[in-house]
């Protein structure tokens, strides 16, 4: 073998970024460059024959495939090897023939790339499962074609006839809850005609089974014409109905009194603020305070006191209308908003409440009388202050409570 050729080959191999293995016609390794040592961990003294090279390859089928090609034609493949330190690596291998029956095998370490591709594939699979589980749909709008859902299966969510996939704006809006249509149409107009680049809106749509369900629609403009009008929009919708149900439940719980199930002070104050712009006049506010609850707690225990509070809540609900708002605003204090109710009707309601207390006392074996002190105040127009109305009702309640205490002392 011309050594000048080998020396020349060595210089070329040392300049390569690939790992390079040079074999003679007897298939002995006569040279490997530093990148080959780096990839495999072996030096020339440890890798001397083709059989030694084969031992790097893990898969027997791959070894056999390489053997079939060697000496007949060039070969390229991605294979898994195990280096000197028992680490698995993925490499690109190329076999080629040189002059004078020299064989060259080059090797590129692509372990990092293969692992990253596997990670990305795993992430993609997880994302697809998450999208499917999260009920996310993808849609597209084009000026000439209108709306379309990119996945036909997404049509199963909506209340459209079977096999229908294209959506014009009229049909789309018809499937939206009536109270939401104007707001959604305005948001769509902004992104199509008013140079807004993104859409984010929540609204209710009719589902396949006819129920109204909440969705969140997110979209972005991907192409505009010379007149700056949107030509192509791509978006997703998310089924947020369960989220809305949870939000409603949390809101409801935050506005309810845990012991009685009535509204709490927070809700009552919000209603007072809202009614400042109301047209439900006249409005009467009723304030009530359980008599001698502290004595009941001290003598019979707080469980007995809680029973009195719950019974009072029941009495109030029994004697009020569905439109009336009753709340527990303190430990033993209750307040009621009576819309479209004048003073005379409110007095009748108070009498019914007092009569029910009397009936309970009549049927009870307890020596303690169960009663409540009430106070009412009425406003007839928005010119009058509803908060002042509440304060007047509260003062009348305390006045009646003091009068009861005075009368008890006088009776004694």
For CA atoms 125, 127, 128, 133, give the dihedral sign.
Answer: positive
Four-way CATH pick for 3-111: 3.30.450.20, 3.90.245.10, 2.40.10.10, 3.40.50.1820: 3.30.450.20
CATH superfamily of 255-411: Reverse transcriptase/Diguanylate cyclase domain (3.30.70.270)
Within 13 Å, how many C-alpha atoms sit on residue 406's CB side? Answer: 6
10-residue stretch averages of pLDDT, the chain, 412 residues long: 61 89 84 92 85 82 74 77 92 83 88 91 77 73 78 61 56 85 90 88 88 91 88 88 88 88 94 87 95 85 90 95 93 95 96 93 77 95 93 95 78 52
Question: How do beta strands 19-23 and 333-338 pair?
Answer: unpaired
Q: What is the DSSP letter of 369?
A: P
CATH superfamily of 135-245: PAS domain (3.30.450.20)
For CA atoms 117, 122, 124, 125, give the dihedral sign.
Answer: positive
> What pLDDT shows up at residue 208?
80
Question: In sequence order, what are the beta bridge partners of 327?
Answer: 263, 335
> What pLDDT shows up at residue 163?
45
> In the β-sheet with 19-23, what is the strand arrangement from edge to edge?
29-32, 19-23, 103-109, 88-97, 75-82
For CA atoms 170, 174, 176, 182, give the dihedral sign.
Answer: positive
CB-neighbour burial class of residue 7 (10 A; exposed 0-12, middle 13-18, buried 19+): exposed
* pTM across the whole model: 0.51
> What pLDDT shows up at residue 193?
87
> What pLDDT shows up at residue 73?
63
In the three-class reduction of DSSP (H, G, I as helix; E, B as strand; rest coil), residue 387 is classed as helix
Common-topology check for domains 3-111 and 135-245? yes
Segments making up each domain of the chain, as ranges: 3-111, 135-245, 255-411
Backbone dihedral angles phi then psi of residue 222, each to the nearest 5 degrees: -110, -15
Distances (CA, A) of 162 to 153, 156, 193, 330, 332: 11, 8, 32, 56, 59
> What pLDDT shows up at residue 152?
58
> What pLDDT shows up at residue 101?
73
Q: How many residues does the structure list for the chain?
A: 412
Question: How do beta strands 283-290 and 372-379 pair?
Answer: antiparallel
> What pLDDT shows up at residue 57?
86
> What pLDDT shows up at residue 300?
82
Q: Answer whether 164's CB lies under 8 Å from 155's CB.
A: yes
Burial 295-328 (b: 16+ CB within 10 A, else e): ebbeeeeeeebeebbebbbebbeebbeeebbbbb
Question: In sequence order, what are the beta bridge partners of 91?
Answer: 79, 109
Distances (CA, A) of 138 to 88, 150, 174, 232: 40, 6, 20, 14
């Amino acid at each position: 073998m011309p050594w000048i050729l080998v020396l020349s080959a060595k210089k070329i191999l040392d300049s390569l970024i690939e790992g390079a293995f040079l074999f003679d016609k007897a298939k002995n390794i006569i040279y490997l460059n530093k990148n080959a040592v780096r990839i495999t961990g072996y030096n020339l003294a440890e890798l001397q024959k083709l059989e030694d090279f084969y031992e790097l390859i893990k898969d027997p089928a791959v070894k056999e495939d390489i053997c079939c090609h060697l000496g007949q034609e060039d070969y390229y493949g991605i294979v898994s090897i195990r280096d000197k330190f028992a680490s698995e690596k993925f490499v690109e291998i190329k076999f080629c023939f040189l002059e004078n029956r020299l064989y060259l095998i080059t090797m590129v370490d692509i372990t990092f790339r293969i692992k990253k591709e596997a990670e990305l594939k795993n992430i993609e699979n997880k994302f697809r499962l998450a999208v499917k589980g999260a009920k996310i749909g993808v849609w597209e709008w084009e000026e000439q074609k209108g709306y379309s859902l990119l996945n036909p299966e997404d049509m199963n969510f909506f209340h459209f006839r079977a096999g229908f996939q294209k959506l014009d704006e009229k049909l789309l809006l018809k499937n939206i809850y009536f109270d939401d249509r104007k707001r959604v149409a305005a948001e769509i107009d902004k992104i199509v005609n008013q140079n807004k680049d993104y859409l984010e809106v929540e609204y209710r749509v009719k589902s396949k089974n006819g129920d109204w369900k909440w969705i969140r629609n997110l979209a972005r403009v991907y192409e505009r014409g010379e007149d700056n009008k949107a030509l192509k929009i791509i978006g997703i919708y998310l089924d947020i109905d369960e989220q809305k149900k949870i939000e409603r439940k949390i809101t409801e719980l935050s506005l309810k009194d845990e012991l009685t199930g009535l509204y709490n002070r927070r809700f009552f104050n919000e209603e007072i603020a809202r009614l400042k712009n109301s047209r439900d006049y006249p409005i009467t506010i009723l304030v009530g305070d359980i008599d001698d609850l502290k004595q009941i707690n001290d003598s019979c225990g707080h469980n007995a006191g809680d029973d009195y509070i719950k019974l009072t809540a029941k009495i109030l609900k029994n004697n009020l209308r569905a439109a009336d708002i009753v709340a527990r605003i303190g430990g033993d204090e209750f307040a009621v908003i009576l819309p479209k109710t004048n003073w005379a009707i409110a007095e009748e309601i108070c009498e019914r409440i007092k009569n029910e207390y009397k009936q309970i006392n009549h049927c009870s074996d307890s020596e303690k009388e169960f009663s409540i002190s009430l106070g009412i105040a009425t406003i007839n127009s928005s010119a009058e202050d509803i908060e002042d109305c509440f304060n007047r009702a509260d003062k009348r309640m305390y006045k009646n409570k003091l009068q009861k205490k005075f009368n008890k002392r006088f009776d004694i």
